[in-house]
Amino acid sequence: MGELAISSREGDELIAIGLGSCIGLALIDPQAGVAGLAHVVLPQAQGSDGPASKFGDLVVPEMISRLERAGAVRRRLIAVLIGGARMFSLGASLDIGSRNAVAVRDALKAARIKIHAEETGGNRGRTARVVLGQGVTSQLALNQRALPGGAGRTGLAGASR
């Protein structure tokens, strides 16, 4: 949780397991064959300690910086969001999954990065997987599926939800 991985090696797998209310944020430059996956835990840092990748309001600039160092071009980055479930039947203000999704969407909008695919919400956990050269998948209770994406060396699979 709160981790961030970047790769430019075809065939590498980036995986975020156990995404309940957390968000798995994949940023991909299909042309450069560079991708990153962050496991976002909380919507805002609000003075909390931890890596930027742990917080929805800090993760996007950190990912962009690392992806650019790996050869990505910011204007080509596309985003895929997975997770953000409502894991407990508590008040709406305690719906961390929804708040995480909103924080990440807001950060992507501020960075002018298009959300290419999203599978968020519900009440069950997921696993996000990015395989460079093959695509992005979301697994919900043993039901893995490819999320829609663009062509390119990173080859986001073109399957629909």
The catalytic residue positions are 22
How are the residues of the chain apportioned to helix, strand and coil, as percentages rounded to the nearest 5? 20, 35, 45
Name the one residue in this structure whose structure tokens are 């890596």: 51
Task: Single out the residue of 133, 140, 116, 160 nearest to residue 13, CA to CA.
Answer: 133
Q: At residue 155, what is the residue type? A: G
Say which residues have a Cβ less than 8 Å from residue 154's Cβ, sequence separation at least 6: 28, 29, 30, 33, 34, 35, 132, 133, 135
Q: With beta carbons less than 8 A apart as the criterion, state whether 129 and 137 touch.
A: yes
Q: What angle do CA 9, 131, 12 make, to 5 degrees?
A: 35
Q: What angle do CA 2, 40, 128 make, to 5 degrees?
A: 100
